[in-house]
Amino acid sequence: MITHYWGLMMNKAYVVQSQGKVAYIQPHIHGKQPFILIIQDQWMLAMCNRLSYNSGWAIDATFKTNQFEVPLYAAVDPNKQAMCIPLWYMICSCDEYRHEQYALEVTLKVIFERMDDVRTNELVIDKLNLELNAITNVIKLDLKCWCYMRNFRN
């Protein structure tokens, strides 16, 4: 049953990929690696590059609010007209401890690799430690993030 479930997820991911809207796909291997699907089309990437300078992203997740009952993350850039511009979406499995944090780390690395030299000035998250840990693990190693946080300590 579980294998069939993730097979269906991969099929849906390949459909979205064929539409040019996928930045990254990782298949699910139970106990070894989570399923990760990062959705970012060229327009979203352009918005990341255009809007991130002197701006912030809001990152949040929903859980079990979709037909697959998996976390769906979204990053948006709220503009001055109080509209949120979507920058990327990520869906992941979370059947093993830390898989969700790992998936968010992969997502941030992939998005940053796709972006130009610009980085957002701030990331707004809720109170989840896994989000804070994922962001911290990525930005402390990214040379373009906040002037490379050389002295950053966990």
pLDDT in tens, 10-63: 998 999 999 999 999 999 888 788 999 999 999 999 999 998 888 889 998 887
Q: Environment class of residue 126 by beta-carbon count within 10 Å: exposed (0-12), middle (13-18) or buried (19+)?
A: exposed
Strands 56-62 and 36-39: unpaired
The separation between CA 108 and the C-alpha centre of its own chain, rounded to angstroms, equals: 5
pLDDT at 150: 47
pLDDT digits (tens, 9 = 90+) for 65-122: 666 678 899 999 987 777 889 999 999 988 777 899 999 999 999 999 999 888 888 8
pLDDT at 149: 47
Contact 25, 79 (CB under 8 A): no
pLDDT at 3: 58
Helices 42-51 and 99-114 pack at an angle, to 10 degrees, of 80
CA distance 93 to 108: 16
